[in-house]
Amino acid sequence: MKIAMGADHAGYRLKDELKPFLEALGHEVEDFGCSCGDSVDYPDYAIEVCDKVVSGEADKGILICGTGIGMTIAANKVPGIRCALVHDLFTAKATREHNDTNVLTLGERVVGPGVAQEIVKIWLETEFSHGERHQKRLDKVRAIEEKYALHP
């Protein structure tokens, strides 16, 4: 699987720890930065990752900032992105099974590297259930995207 990753200054250390973990699992990782503690703007990194996912150049995306909140907000502005902020194993699985998320956000100040690895592994390994009720809800989300893409 090809995974696009991005982080801001508050999440780059966790990104740099997760990248070799993902590669060891056999995934190809494209790193969009950042790679230092100098203050940067998280939307710049979110859009790079989300563009790759929406275009199909990446299968999934992972974004990391201090809390994960800012990256999640920015990512979910991109039509076609279903991004979830996850800090535990239960929601890592549920967000894939029920919501078919294609971008995962983590908060470096919230989860440590070990938990982050478990979250990422579960998130990547869990398939969308294709349950009728879940698909119906995703179709409604797409309709909302289409409505506001045409009438901002």
Task: Please identify every residue annotated as catalytic.
Answer: 65, 98
Tell me which residue has tokens 């966790």.
14
Q: Beta partners for 104?
A: 62, 84
Report the phi/psi class of residue 63: left, alpha or beta, with left for phi > 0 and alpha for psi in -120 to 50. Answer: beta
